[in-house]
Structure 1
C-alpha cells in the first residue's frame, strides 16, 4: 500500500473510526512533518513549505481532492509525499491504519 489514493482512503476511514481516529491524526501529522523536513532539506523557501504542509494535511484528510496546481514545488511535493507514505506504512505503530482491511490489531 503505497499509493496516495490508497493511503488517503485508509486515513479517511480511520478518521471516521473512534478507535483509530487519534492514531490517524498522528499519522497525518507524521506524514506532513516528514514532507516538511524533506522540502526544507531541499532548499524550498519557508513560505512554500508552510503552504505545502497545509495542503498535504488537507489532501490526506480528504478536505481537498488534489494538491493545487499552483503549489510551488508540487511535483517535488508529490514525490516526497509518496516516500513519506511508504515509510509510515512500514511502521508497525501505524498498522491499525495501513494494514490490509480486516487485519487490524484493534478488532
Structure 2
C-alpha cells in the first residue's frame, strides 16, 4: 500500500512532533529528572524551614520571658555575668591543669 505524498508529510510531521515531545519529557527544563530534582530541593528547604521555625519559636519564648519576668534576667546575669545576690556565698573550684607529656623527638 502506497501512501500519498500529503499523507507522508502528515505522518512525518506527527512523528517529529512526537519525537520533540519525548525529548522535552526526558531532557531539559521541565523534564521528569528536573522535576524530581526540584522536588528534592523543596523537601530540603521544607526541613530547613521547620528547623528555623522551631528556632524562632524558642527565641520568641525567650523574648517573652525577658519582657514578662525578672527570673530570666536573673538567670542570665548569674550564668553569663557571675552575679550573686546579697547574702549569698560564691565558691569557685578550680581543677588543676593536667600536665602534658613532652613528646619532643
- For normalisation by structure 2, the TM-score amounts to 0.26
Specify which structure has the bigger relative contact order, considering alpha-carbon pairs within 8 angstroms and separated by 6 or more residues: 1
Q: Which has the larger radius of gyration?
A: 2
